[in-house]
Structure 1
Amino acid sequence: MQEPLIQQACDWLEGQQQAMVDCLAALVNIDSNSYDKAGNDEVADLITQWLEQDGITVIRHQRPDSGDILEAQLGEAGQGHALLMGHRDTVFPTGTVAGRGYSQKENLGFGPGVADMKSGLVMNCFVLRALSRLPNCPLPVRALFTADEEIGSPDGRPFIEAAAEGARAVLNVEPGRVSGNVVTGRKGGAGFLINVTGKAAHSGVSHADGASAIETLARKIIKLHALTDYEAGITTNVGTVTGGVSRNTVAPSASAQLDVRFVTTAQRDQLYLAIEAIIAEPDIPGTLATIEQTSEFFPLEERMSSALFALYQSQAKAIGFAVDGEFTGGCSDAGWTASLGVPTLCGLGPVGAKMHTDEEYCLLDTLVPRTQALTATLLNLQHISADPR
């Protein structure tokens, strides 16, 4: 047990409330949309400055088109390390901060990305700073600050998987649920672009000569939506449809965007096969459909988080707050690490709500206790099995 170290770290964190709020305001007041490399790199500059002031090693992986990847290290990197994760990007367009920067009303902090997930970034920084003040840390800790989670981590995923190799546990500081719970399970999901080509014809003069791409797409949408199984947790949704050239022309082209969600990797594999079969069906002679995967997240299956959650729950109780686990349909980078067989827990950040909206907020009084609980969990990770599968 690590009670003296936990007490020392928690005592230091107890006095950091205002410092954490100040750091949160600084990060929120930087636009960092997923496609805004300059903004994401500015956030990285601040995080690097804060960590290096305490002698924490920060490695910056320069990226040509995305925000740079930051990797902080405490102790010797190697087998059995703990990995903290968080993303710097937000869904809000560049320029949002100018009209709606950080603001505060009593215990609520507002602003673009205040909960998802700049408060989590602050939390990881202060976990590292607390651990760096200890006379010894019982295990190496790495922290990854990526910049493209909101668009599926196309650039960040290889760094996440590399950082998780050999890890004892992964702790992802996505926002805590509005209930105060952490996330013990998440759906996986994927996006697809469907394109259909057909043959144009005048809809009054030579209708029979045409082959409607829109009709083919419509028939496929009905079949795709029929794959939804609420009881199993599988959903399919065509969210956008475009096509045709005019009202009186048989449509020579059509396209749609498909979103799918699933609970397990086995469901994923079966669902993908079913989608491919639907797209391959001829439907209307003279039309051809193709499908391209545009994004993907793996699920966080609850069996991968159960032991880690039990440890976190006990540490939270010792700190002074009760917490339960919760399943959510949203995706996160936690799925990548869980799919590798590494125990993973998500939603460990400060409590927030209304993410991705103008009303997004963070409960500021959860900054310190949630950081203390995460720090205490890290200091007791010797109780976690390396592979719970």
Structure 2
Amino acid sequence: MNDAERMTATACDWLAGQQAEMVDCLKTLVDIDSNSYDKAGTDAVADVIVGWLEADGIDVKRISRPESGDILEAWLEGDGSDAGHVLMMGHRDTVFPTGTVAERGYTRQGDTAFGPGVADMKSGLVLNIFVLRALKRLSPLPFPVRALFTADEEIGSRDGTAFIREAASGARAVLNAEPGRISGNVVTGRKGGAAFLIEVTGKAAHSGVSHADGASAIEALARKIVRLHALTDYDSGVTTNVGLIEGGVSRNTVAPSATAQLDTRFVTNQQRLDLLAAIEAIIAEEDIPGTQATIRQTSGFLPMEPAMSEGLFARYRTQAEKIGFNVEGEFTGGCSDAGTTASLGIPTLCGTGPVGAKMHTADEYCRLETFVPRAQAVAATIVSLAAEPLVQP
């Protein structure tokens, strides 16, 4: 056996005996409410993670945040050579409101676990923690390994993105432990997305007495919505959707104001730029004399273009086959932080967490029997990068 094979065997052998502890850790995390806006909850998850890592001698830096959950960054030192690190990522927040755990906390039926955030993505957090612990037993590592635990991915990583960019700087590869697909596959491509708030102002008037004196913000917004929706192109993967609208003061008043929330999705960064330009042109036009519209982006994810995952996925698939399971890559319309690192030109693979499904619903579940093999595949993939570094596209 060469050095890489010995290191892989050591890590995988240790992980093979950790199934029960992984499940116990998952239960602990799921039974802590951690909605994106619940700083106390996401920080409580951070407290637990810090305790687990420090107990195993793994260094953790905690960056206090005034409003969002604190940022955690754990790392393992390399052998001292000037080699780019590998970054693992995961988010501690969930979409479920505080109080959900009291109503329906962690439960288990055989090899299936249920509970708020059990798949998206507290199981992925546990996987990354145990991969770190496995790699800690390999001394020295051929390059540093870092793990970032953020707390606002479900609301667009408005605070976390800057820390992701910093942690990824100089990385040779990124593995994001979002849940594996129900097929057992990993994610090799994701759409990007951006959300916008559109505000239109007009002029109020009595709709019966002085209708002509008014300028309807609602009518202006309606005309813009038709044109915004016309930007959808299913063949290219671009979609636009105004999902919420508000406006007016009464039925018999020409509306002086109206607002809308727009969701957009795209496959490539060039599509994003083209789409934003088209949207801005629509908003700038005065559809109704006397009205004016503005637009503000409220959140966004960059796309994870499939080209950025090809080499890393091939490496992961090879290691998975050696461990004993087959895996393919899938494209998904959902967004994740993997788009941020992929758009930096860093080889990125997503969906490396345990297999799960029905995310963001009361029926969300995680397949517990996938914990160990998928953790082994991540650890083996990381070690394999020492023997043969990836060539970036």
Normalising by the smaller structure, the TM-score range is over 0.9
State the partner residue of 2:35.
33
**TM alignment of 1:259-278, pairs within 5 A:** 259-278=263-282
> Does residue 84 of the first structure (1) align with residue 91 of the second (2)?
no
> Does residue 223 of the first structure (1) align with residue 222 of the second (2)?
no
State the partner residue of 1:20.
22
State the partner residue of 1:53.
55
When the two chains are superposed, the root-mean-square deviation of aligned CA atoms in Å is: 1.0
One-letter identity of the residue aligned with 1:52: E
Conservation of the 8 A alpha-carbon contact between 2:189 and 2:306: yes
1:154 to 154, 158, 163: 158
In structure 2, the gaps of 5 or more residues are none
Counterparts of 1:135 and 1:271, CA distance in 2: 49
> Does residue 3 of the first structure (1) align with residue 5 of the second (2)?
yes
How far apart are residue 387 of structure 1 and its match?
2.9
Counterparts of 2:220 and 2:27, CA distance in 1: 51
2:77 to 69, 75, 78: 75
Conservation of the 8 A alpha-carbon contact between 1:60 and 1:70: yes
State the partner residue of 1:234.
238
One-letter identity of the residue aligned with 1:66: S
> Does residue 190 of the first structure (1) align with residue 188 of the second (2)?
no
State the partner residue of 2:293.
289
How far apart are residue 136 of structure 1 and its match?
2.8
Conservation of the 8 A alpha-carbon contact between 1:124 and 1:143: yes
Counterparts of 1:274 and 1:79, CA distance in 2: 42
State the partner residue of 2:364.
360
**TM alignment of 1:197-346, pairs within 5 A:** 197-346=201-350
What TM-score comes out, normalization by structure 1 length? 0.98
Counterparts of 1:187 and 1:338, CA distance in 2: 12
1:110-135 deviations in whole A, cap 9, x for unaligned? 00000000000000000000111123
Counterparts of 1:343 and 1:134, CA distance in 2: 24
1:176 to 180, 200, 204: 180
One-letter identity of the residue aligned with 1:367: F
State the partner residue of 2:136.
132
One-letter identity of the residue aligned with 2:69: G
Query: What SS class does the counterpart of residue 272 from structure 2 fall into?
Result: helix
Conservation of the 8 A alpha-carbon contact between 2:312 and 2:390: no
> Does residue 105 of the first structure (1) align with residue 104 of the second (2)?
no
Query: What SS class does the counterpart of residue 153 from structure 1 fall into?
Result: coil
Query: What SS class does the counterpart of residue 261 from structure 1 fall into?
Result: strand
Aligned length: 388
1:258-306 deviations in whole A, cap 9, x for unaligned? 0000000000000000000000111100111111110010000000000
Counterparts of 2:42 and 2:216, CA distance in 1: 44
CA gap 1:305/1:90 in 2 versus in 1, 3 angstroms = same
Counterparts of 1:218 and 1:135, CA distance in 2: 63
Counterparts of 1:79 and 1:35, CA distance in 2: 37
1:11-61 deviations in whole A, cap 9, x for unaligned? 111111110000000000000011111111110111111111111111111
In structure 1, the gaps of 5 or more residues are none
Conservation of the 8 A alpha-carbon contact between 1:174 and 1:346: yes
Conservation of the 8 A alpha-carbon contact between 2:83 and 2:143: no
Runs of 4+ with deviation above 4 angstroms: 76-79
1:69-120 deviations in whole A, cap 9, x for unaligned? 0000101496410000000000011111011110001111000000000000
Query: What SS class does the counterpart of residue 379 from structure 1 fall into?
Result: helix
> Does residue 384 of the first structure (1) align with residue 386 of the second (2)?
no
Counterparts of 2:139 and 2:195, CA distance in 1: 47
Query: What SS class does the counterpart of residue 108 from structure 2 fall into?
Result: strand
One-letter identity of the residue aligned with 1:40: T
Counterparts of 1:161 and 1:386, CA distance in 2: 20
How far apart are residue 385 of structure 1 and its match?
2.7
Counterparts of 2:172 and 2:203, CA distance in 1: 57
One-letter identity of the residue aligned with 1:315: Q
- Which stretch shifts more, 71-80 or 137-146? 71-80
How far apart are residue 386 of structure 1 and its match?
5.3
Counterparts of 2:249 and 2:159, CA distance in 1: 36
One-letter identity of the residue aligned with 2:389: I
What TM-score comes out, normalization by structure 2 length? 0.97
2:378 to 367, 374, 386: 374
How far apart are residue 202 of structure 1 and its match?
1.1
1:314-369 deviations in whole A, cap 9, x for unaligned? 00000000000000000000011111111000000000000000000000000110
